[in-house]
Every structure is written in structure tokens, then in C-alpha cells.
Structure 1
Amino acid sequence: MDKIKDMKVLLSIAGSDSSGGAGIQADIKTAEYFGVFSTTAITALTAQNTCGVSDVMSVSPEFIKEQINAVKSDFEIAALKLGMLFNKEIMAVVLEFIKELSVPVVLDPVFISKAGSVLMSDENIDEIKKLFEFSTIITPNLHEAKRLFGQDLKVDAPCNVLIKNLCEGEFSVDRLIYKDKSVREFKELCLQSQNLHGTGCSFSTAIASNLALGKSLENAIEISKSFITKAIRNAPNLGHGKGPIRHNLNKI
């Protein structure tokens, strides 16, 4: 019983993926793998599968606030992961909440896909920057980083920034730019796979889960990058498009 009481709690504020590979569903599976209990506040419902998204329905800011309040009134939150926030009204609710927090906050911007499709208006993209001050780290992909910081990637942010999936020959590089502008890089061999759905969501949640467990930022990133590599290598080959990764690596 004491061991269960000591379990760390993550709150993920993100969208739902009907295919189960990304979003809230990926966050819950990832947190569980690391022994962290995941609570949620769902910001949007998506109708999607491995071939694409057919529709998105936003959840009202009022109901998102109700979800957050229900969780925080009952659980001691050890870390927060932010995913799809969809519009500035939702961002305002989240901003009000995270101003009160003193736990690690991992923000995955989720406004441009890996393929380069823009998922959010320019107005909303600019609005998301207000969350940076209260974030421990943000994890944009290369497209998102260029939109936020310019084509030359001269990062100027009040938080740590991890730019994902920079290619250097046979290596995939994640570049961590600290608040003081110093840089550290994390490298893994590039993997050729069609099963990459949900990697960004899972990676940011893995980082948040490990921060909840008390790991340093650098160690959390290293552990999370290794987890994603193994999850891709052991993907179950489901669906007819870009399939999901395997989160339950402990079952292999």
C-alpha cells in the first residue's frame, strides 16, 4: 500500500487520438511504462487513424478548466505535460493554471506536423509563447522551431528548448538549448520506419514522467530518447498508414 501511495502523478493536458497512437492515449501508455500514474484533461477530440485525421472537435475552455480542477483537488501533481492546446481560449485556461504550479512543465507545442502541415493559426501560435515563461522545457520539431525562432534557429526563450529530429548524416540529433544559451546534443542512429505515429507525444511525456520521478533534465532526455528508439524498433505494424510505436516494452 505504501508503495502505491508513493506513485508519482502526471497531469497531461492534450488532445485525444481515436487511433490510440498519439495524444492522451500515448501519454497514458508512456507514463505507465515509467511507473507514473497519468491523469488527464482533454482539450480536443480527433477522428483519426494511421492514414490521417478526418475531423477535430475542440473541448470548451470551461470544461477543460473543470477537468483540471477535478484533478488538482484530489491528486498531488508531480509534473505537467502540455500537448495540443488548439486555441487561445484554451491556452488562457492553461496559463492561469500553470502560473500556480511549482512542478516541472513539459510543453510539446503541436502546431506543425512532422510533414510540415500547419495545425494552428498564426495568432494562436504567437499566443502559445506566453506559456514558455512557466515551462521547464519545450519540445518543438524542426518546423515548429523555425516558426518560433526563425529559419536560422537563433533560440531566445525564457525556458529550455529541445529541438527534435535534426539530421546529421546517419544520426538523429535532438539539440537542447538552455536558458543561458549553452547547448547540448543527444544523438541516436536514424531509424527508417513507417511506424512513427505518436513519437512526439510519447517523447515529451517520457521526459515529463522522468522529471516527475526526480531525474535531472539531461538524464530524463537520455532515458526518453532511448525509450522512443526501442519503441520504434519494436513497433507492432498496425494499420494501413503510419503506424503506432510500441509503448509496452516491458511485455516484449
Structure 2
Amino acid sequence: MRTPPPRVLTVAGSDSGGGAGIQADLKTMLALGTHGMSVLTAVTAQNSLGVQGAWELPAEAVRQQFRSVVDDIGVQAVKTGMLATAELVATVAGLLDGLTAPVVVDPVGVSKHGDPLLAAEALETVRAELLPRATVATPNLDEVAQLTGVRVEREADLPRAAEAVLAYGPRWALIKGGHLKDGADAVDLLTDGTTEHWLRAPRHDNRHTHGTGCTLAAAIAARLAKGRPVPDAVADAKEYVTGAIAAGFALGGGIGPVDHGWRLEGLEGLEGEAPERES
């Protein structure tokens, strides 16, 4: 009988367009050789043009989904995404208590189109209850500003942003600098406050990048589930998402998704270039 693959749980919202959220996470987990499982926190009406509606699930529904998976199947890594409300953030934070598996927290605040996905009153609960339970927190620059007030304008600001995020308790902070405009590369900083790992990859001229943040966090969780150390897991995940961005495709009338299956399709010329890492 075949040994099951590593098990990864995503706790996030649904993207009806299939580019981000639970759908992106499960595609990523499959592509990276793990068994993806899900706890749905919210349902969105969403397409390439934006989010037309969002409905949160009751906290008890989230709790029961989580317990059903963890108590029977077990998990080797957890990734959190859209949690929407303070009640759901607190519920998920409580469920993470006692888990020995690594936790990747993607503190989703807004969609790719600028639609709010986290209530303003939930920010303090993210800071006080969720981030302290994170093995790795993966905010983008907008989320860094939302959580800490630190605004990043250039690469040199990334260490200050990481320090501000680490003050809330995650073991590692990955500050995603993809929105920076001061270089040819997409630069991210991973640090635990002692050691810095700078990750660089080519910036691809492709506007179809919906789901990038979800995909990166899910890829990190998949690598952690396979036993990779955090710096290696993050470097591997960045290489995967760089290829997915390069292969991103038009879908609908707006911003299309990254291609989660780019490695599986044998796409010529879109292999992605591995990021450089400086320690």
C-alpha cells in the first residue's frame, strides 16, 4: 500500500474564479507533491475584475472543519489565508494552539484588485493572537503597512519592515518586495531577527499575477510539510512562484491567474529562473 504524501491544511476563503484562496492553495499543494486539505472560512463571488461579494462562515463551521481534519487525518503543515473577521481570526488562532506542525500565516488584508478581505477591527486580533503562532508570516508591503504602520518605499526599508512584523511574535518574517520599483528583480527578505536571507528572482513582465501571495504561502507550507528548513522551504517556494508568474495567463476581462501547473505541463521557455539567495 502506498505511503500517503505529506498532508497540508489550508484555512482560507474560496475564490470562485479559481486563481487565489483555497483553490490556489490546493493546486499548489498538488503540484508540489503533497495532499492538500481545506478549512473554508468565507465564500467570495470573485473573478478577474475583482470581488463582487463575500460571506463569512460561522465560527463553529470553521472549528468543526478543522477538528474533523486534524483529529482524524492529521497535518504536517498549516497555511492560513483570508480570515475576514476578528471572531474567525481568534477562532483559528485558538485552533492552532497545541499543534506541533509549522504554520504559515499569510495575513490577507486586500485582494489583488484592492478589495478589503479583512475587517479593520480584526487587525489587532491578527497582531495579538495569530502572528505569535506563526512559524513564518508572509505579508506583502501593503499588509506590512496595515499591520505595523511601516511603509516600504525601497529595498533598504525591508529590514525595518521585518523587524516591525517580528515584534508581533512570528518565528520568521518573509517581507515580499514584489511591488518595489527600484530594481529589475523581485526582492524578498526572510529573517528571524538574527539571520537575513535575501531572495532575488527576475521580475517578469506579466500582469496576470492573481493569486501570487496565496500560492507562495501554500508552497512554503508544502515544503515545510516535507521537512525542509524554513530558509530552504522559502527559497524553493519562491522558485516555484516565479515560474508560475512567468506562465500566468489571461482569463476573463481583467487580471488573470498565475499558472499553478506550470511544471506539470512541460511549458517550453517558461521554466522559471531560480532565485538567488544571499545569507
Match of 1:2 in 2: 2
Is 1:157 aligned to 2:168, yes or no? yes
CA drift at 1:101:
0.3
2:191 alignment partner, one of 171, 177, 195: 177
Contact 2:13 2:21 in 1 (8 A): yes
Q: Which of 34-43 and 183-192 deviates more?
A: 183-192
Residue identity matched to 1:157:
Y
Match of 2:230 in 1: 217
Match of 2:209 in 1: 196
Residue identity matched to 1:45:
V
CA-based RMSD of the aligned residues comes to: 1.6
Q: Which of 162-171 and 16-25 deviates more?
A: 162-171
Match of 1:41 in 2: 39
- Give the alignment of 1:132-171 within 5 angstroms: 132-151=131-150, 153=161, 154-155=163-164, 156-159=167-170, 160-166=172-178, 167=180, 168-171=182-185
- Give deviations 1:128-159, integer Å, cap 9, x for gaps: 11111111011001011122223252422321
- Give the alignment of 1:39-188 within 5 angstroms: 39-114=37-112, 117-129=115-127, 130-151=129-150, 153=161, 154-155=163-164, 156-159=167-170, 160-166=172-178, 167=180, 168-178=182-192, 180-188=193-201
CA drift at 1:118:
4.1
Contact 1:231 1:246 in 2 (8 A): yes
Say how many residue pairs are matched: 249
Mapped to 1, the partners of 2:204 and 2:113 lie a distance apart of 16
- Give deviations 1:177-198, integer Å, cap 9, x for gaps: 31x3542211112122121000
Contact 1:10 1:208 in 2 (8 A): yes
Mapped to 2, the partners of 1:36 and 1:13 lie a distance apart of 16
Mapped to 1, the partners of 2:11 and 2:2 lie a distance apart of 28
Shift of the 113–220 alpha-carbon distance from structure 1 to 2, 3 Å rule, reads same
Contact 1:237 1:244 in 2 (8 A): yes
- 1:86 is paired with a residue of what secondary structure? coil
Residue identity matched to 1:136:
T
Percent of matched pairs sharing the same residue:
35
Could you tell me which runs of 5 or more consecutive residues in structure 1 were left unpaired when the two chains were aligned. Answer: none
CA drift at 1:228:
0.9
- 2:9 is paired with a residue of what secondary structure? strand
Contact 2:13 2:83 in 1 (8 A): yes
Contact 1:194 1:241 in 2 (8 A): no
Shift of the 108–243 alpha-carbon distance from structure 1 to 2, 3 Å rule, reads same
Contact 1:114 1:143 in 2 (8 A): no
Residue identity matched to 2:246:
R
Residue identity matched to 2:175:
I
Contact 2:29 2:36 in 1 (8 A): yes
Residue identity matched to 1:61:
A
